[in-house]
A and B are shown apart, each in its own frame.
Chain A
């Protein structure tokens, strides 16, 4: 079992950064949700905020890693003009053309919202530090933007998985 150079990069783009992104989201959302001063001790707040910082920064870094590798490394292979490229194969058949004209066209754009929003959340958490427990509005805003970053990335990731299943980058 071997992976080609291109398959390795698609793995890094979709799986490696994807796993870090998912872990960051899960840990970060749980930490944000449960960060309520009436439920925690001083030591508990400090401990939780330390982990929260790690989760949200990891998610932001993973989101940037995903879109940068996706846009500048994997996407050129996908849209190569050669008849055997993934895009050429999709658009050549009316039955699969929509995977490009809708699926890939939306995926390539919608993915870029996620790192921006994840970075905003990381900034909120790092800026306030432990003070975030006393800023209910900031905590709630961070949760809303965090979930949005995840949902928009999930749309991109889901479309990417389905497109790859139909016409992989080889």
Chain B
């Protein structure tokens, strides 16, 4: 007797739904990596460039963090929208998307560590 084995896996048919493409999820994952990378890049830029530092000071009480945070969110959402549009009906290897995102996140995180981004400050 093998019918209705407890090890039988639940299917999408059992759940009453149709599958969806992986593209939008890959877009969200890669865009998350882009957002993380941009935060690191903006952190270095505001240290290295007086012009960008002034541009990033959207609020005098918050300082450059205001611009770095806002610019990061804007670029992240724009990248997400663009990638979503490009991949919305496509399949995409999510392991590949995750690997791309993890590299970008790692670069972004490293760039926000003070001894790292301070190295980009102009010599006095």
A interface, CB within 8 angstroms of B: 37-38, 40-42, 45-46, 67, 71-72, 75-76, 79, 101-102, 105-106, 108-110, 112-113, 116-117, 119-120, 123-124, 127-131, 133-135, 137-138, 140-141, 144-145, 148, 152
Judge whether A79 and B76 touch: CB under 8 Å: no
> How many chain B residues touch the partner (CB < 8 A)?
47
The 10 A-B residue pairs whose C-beta atoms are closest, nearest first, are: A109-B112, A76-B61, A137-B94, A120-B32, A105-B114, A37-B10, A37-B9, A141-B98, A116-B35, A123-B28
Is B29's CB within 8 Å of the partner chain A? Answer: yes
CB neighbours of B78 from chain A (8 A): none
Q: Contacting A128 at CB < 8 Å: which of B25, B36, B97, B113?
A: B25
The main secondary structure of chain A at its interface with chain B is: helix
Judge whether B29 and A141 touch: CB under 8 Å: yes
A109 CB → nearest B CB, Å = 4
Judge whether A120 and B69 touch: CB under 8 Å: no
What is the bound-complex CA distance between A158 and B50, given in angstroms? 31
CB neighbours of B94 from chain A (8 A): 135, 137-138, 141
CB neighbours of A144 from chain B (8 A): 98, 102
B interface, CB within 8 angstroms of A: 7-12, 14-15, 17, 19-20, 22, 24-25, 28-29, 31-32, 35-36, 39, 43, 59, 61-63, 65-66, 68-69, 72-73, 76, 93-95, 97-98, 101-102, 105, 108-109, 112-115
